[in-house]
Chain A
Amino acid sequence: MKIDEVKTDMWFKAMDSWFGMCRHMAEKPSSSKANKLYYELYVKYYERLISATEKGNIVVHPTSVPTEIIYAMDLVPMLVTSSTWQMAYSLKMFDKVLAIAKDYGIMDETCSVHRMIGAFAFKGWFPKPVAFVYAAGGCDAFCGSSRLLSHLYDVPTYCIDTPYHYTGQDIAYLTLQLDEMVNLLEETTGRKMDWDRLKESITIAQKQMELFQEIRELRKAVPSPMENRRAWQLNWFNWIYAGSDDGVAFFRTLRDELKERVEKGVGVPGVEEKFRLLDLFMAPAHSFKLLDWMQKERGANIVSETLIRYDNDVVLNPDKPLESLARKWAGGPLWNELQGTTDDVVRAAVEDAKAYKVDGAIWWDNNSCRQCGCIRMTRDGLLDKIGIPTALVTCDIMDPAFTTYDEMKDSLAQFFELLDSRERS
């Protein structure tokens, strides 16, 4: 089965609603500079995507591939996972979309992000790209939905096979594949790689990584200066604005904002820090307000996310752009942890828990996520090695009906009680 007709009406409808929400957030009088810029840039990213789609220009779907490459070829990337979330969120059609996935044979026992990707693909609701490139890493659902998307849209595809280990030879393997991907994109789109532009974006990406690390360092301050939901914003921009001036602008603005708070010895406005928490997994995308609630109402600051970090030894070299991107990918947010062993996850968690002086950790126990296979070891690791308890919050990353907002809140409230009693004793 292939997609006969691409119907982007739903997508455009979702965009309208999304833009409205972003503009509203950016214009809020209480919005900080970084917050304002975040929403403005989000709108800019999607406007560019819409324009490319409307003009019949080139749109590729680089799910988890280095977007520096796409930009350097003057192509417009569309990140499938974030677009899926954005579309589902804007349309408020969670049930309907998940039911579509089921109709097409994608059962409930797999992650809802990917079920939604499958549903949108079957319906032809994503714009049709001239080429599809994806990295087969992270988790099986990621590979599965990408494989299906490529099959349904029937466009030239490149799959980056991500190795399990990361020795020099594995990096060489990854680098060779990035090179092949560039060739495929050149052949299918007629656009040539601008190697100078790519080198330049590597220099920018290095700056971006440094700012990213600075932000992480600033969060070690007591009280911690950053809003809980901000880390995921950083993560998205780390992909969609990778190696770009806009990305640097956002990171710098945020860094400055946090630095100022740290210098003044104040935390997030209106928050009295009570607990410092380590976030071990992905919070439900439909309920980020939960992150706001715990911070504002309970003084629970998330100070680090083990999924959103770089290995310390990642340094980019503009003279070796593809190899640099392979290293950045392998040692960067999400993939270094999802792809690696659980012992790596435990090591990172214990390291961060100590460095950020956390009181507790949260694992968002996402429905049908195979990474939950790491939960027991990570929880045991944190408790046995440094006495840090972990809350397991049952949720579904995309489906708000799976666990209600109040149920999640209750579950967190119980955990805060536990932390309270530990503090007292």
Chain B
Amino acid sequence: MTMKLKYLDEMREIGNPYPNSEYIEKWKENGGKVIGWICNYVPEEIIHAAKMLPYRMTGASEEIEMEDGDAYLHIYSCSFTRSCCQLAVEGKFKFLDGFVSTAMCDGSRRLADVIDHYGFVDLIASLGVPRKFDEKSEALYRREIFQFKKRLEAYSESEISDDSIRDSIRLYNRTRQLLKELYDLRKLDAPPVSGAETLEVLNAVTRMPREKFNEILEKLLAEIKGRRLNSDWKVRLMIDGSIIQNIDFVKSIEELGGLVAMDGLCNGARYWEGEVDTGLEPIPALSRYYLNKFPCPRFYPPTVRTDKVMNLIKEFRIEGIICQIIRYCNTHTWDFPILRSEVEEIGIPTLRLDTEYGQGATGRIKTRVQAFIEMLQERKVAR
């Protein structure tokens, strides 16, 4: 029997129910401020340095009715942004003291527009994010972060010092180190932690104070290291895509014998990968880090992202990739043919799954995943 993880339970308790957990309510009662952010390219360190709680705005982690989301954002916006919009219209984000977005994609741009225009939450800033990795882009992004800091200072009526940003960077780097440790365990032949459990950790990381999260994750890692999991999986998989938060989705894949050993998700490895250089001035360091981490597929050239995926395939001994594309996500839709052609050249098959955000593994999806796993197994035998 699989040993239950006490500290994972603790994380789960703090982070749920989403969005407004009891923990957050208490935090607010004690005078704490909470700032929502939506995209990986919002530097949380700045919010933390302003003594506020950065909180990732997402949709519900399950499929919900999105009548309002459809009405305000139109059905051609991706279902992630519509789900966020639905919760915003329902007043579920009322506890947020402000909201920060980016112009990363049409969805996040238009969601920020709607939230701001109809006053669902106060929009503090929407950052422009360059699409390239060169020095000019870094300089542009530096200015965006600087402007964001200024706006947040005006909003909070207090100055954000460089020293406090440095402290926050150190704290957030610690999270990155811990998450890397967690991911590294998944390189093992019989990882002591499943992909579904890892996703629970990822859901928790942006829903509680970072100090608290790091403390629990350290304990959780110790707990995990002394544990053995069933190792009757058939193939090692990577899940790529924008954002997945439905634990059951990953659990179902694993129950079918696909070990989810790595991911290229927006709320997964793309969220935490790398570390901010503490030897640089804080804002330039943030600009460099955010623009150079495991990139979102909207960046140019695409080879930076595909090279990254290729390295991860080797590192984690991946045998197949499940590309989950949230309906109406243009960024991943257009990236898919490029990624597929590159990884198939090195013999890694892909399975494309078009799903709604929050969707669990339905019968149809399970059948397709099962067939994919069988195909991968047969290839293995044939070798």
Contacts and interface: CB of A to CB of B under 8 A. Distances in A.
Interface stretch (B106-114, B220-228, B375-383): B106-114
B128 A372 contact: no
B337 A373 contact: no
Contacts of B132: 159, 161
A104 B105 CA distance: 23
B334 A144 contact: yes
B113 A342 contact: yes
Interface stretch (A54-62, A135-143, A289-297, A353-361): A135-143
A370 B328 CA distance: 8
B66 to A, nearest CB: 14
A391 to B, nearest CB: 15
What's the interface size class on B, roughly? 35 or more
B74 A375 contact: yes
Given A105-B336, A147-B300, A164-B103, A173 B140 contact: yes
Interface in A261-292: none
A71 to B, nearest CB: 25
Nearest to A372: B74
Nearest to A177: B136
Contact of B337 (A105, A164, A346): A105
Given A373-B74, A377-B114, A164 B352 contact: no
Nearest to B105: A140
Contacts of B140: 163, 169-170, 173
Given A373-B114, A374-B110, A140 B331 contact: yes
B352 A105 contact: yes
B334 A140 contact: yes
B327 interface: yes
Interface stretch (A106-114, A210-218, A313-321, A416-424): A106-114
B330 A139 contact: yes
B71 interface: yes
B229 interface: no
B330 A106 contact: no
A136 B299 CA distance: 10
Contacts of A351: none
B197 interface: no
Nearest to A141: B330
Contacts of A143: 131, 298, 300, 334
Contact of A109 (B106, B107, B328, B340): B328
A373 B110 contact: yes
A151 B305 CA distance: 13
Interface string B78-94: 00000000000000000
A327 B302 CA distance: 28
B114 A342 contact: yes
Interface in B324-377: 325, 327-328, 330-331, 333-338, 340-341, 352, 354
A367 to B, nearest CB: 8
B327 A342 contact: no
A148 interface: yes
Most chain A CB neighbours (cut-off 10 Å) among B139, B337, B354: B337
Contacts of A104: 337
Contact of B113 (A122, A173, A374): A374
Nearest to A164: B128
A176 interface: yes
A372 B74 CA distance: 6
A147 B352 CA distance: 20
Nearest to B107: A370
A81 interface: no
Interface residues of A, number: 46
Interface string B278-308: 0000000000000000000010111000000
B137 interface: yes
A161 B328 contact: no
A106 B333 contact: yes
Interface string A141-170: 101110110010000010101011100011
B61 interface: no
A347 to B, nearest CB: 11
A110 B334 contact: yes
B341 A373 contact: no
Interface in B108-142: 109-111, 113-114, 116-117, 126-132, 136-137, 139-140
B233 interface: no
A147 B330 contact: no
A31 interface: no
Interface in A312-366: 341-343, 346
Contact of A173 (B117, B136, B302): B136
Nearest to A369: B76
Given A342-B117, A370-B107, A159 B131 contact: yes
Nearest to A144: B334
A297 to B, nearest CB: 30
Contacts of A151: 302, 338, 341
Given A105-B336, A161-B131, A372 B300 contact: no
The 9 closest A-B pairs by CB, nearest first: A144-B334, A164-B128, A373-B110, A1-B341, A370-B106, A140-B330, A342-B113, A164-B103, A372-B74
Given A110-B334, A143-B334, 20 more contacts: A106-B333, A106-B334, A122-B337, A139-B330, A141-B330, A143-B131, A144-B334, A144-B335, A147-B300, A169-B140, A173-B140, A367-B76, A370-B328, A370-B330, A372-B74, A373-B76, A373-B110, A373-B114, A374-B110, A376-B114
Interface of B: 71-74, 76-77, 103, 105-107, 109-111, 113-114, 116-117, 126-132, 136-137, 139-140, 143, 298, 300-302, 325, 327-328, 330-331, 333-338, 340-341, 352, 354
27 contacts: A105-B336, A105-B337, A106-B337, A109-B328, A122-B337, A139-B330, A140-B298, A141-B330, A144-B330, A147-B302, A151-B338, A161-B300, A163-B130, A164-B103, A164-B126, A170-B140, A173-B136, A341-B109, A343-B113, A370-B77, A370-B107, A370-B328, A372-B77, A373-B106, A373-B111, A373-B114, A374-B113
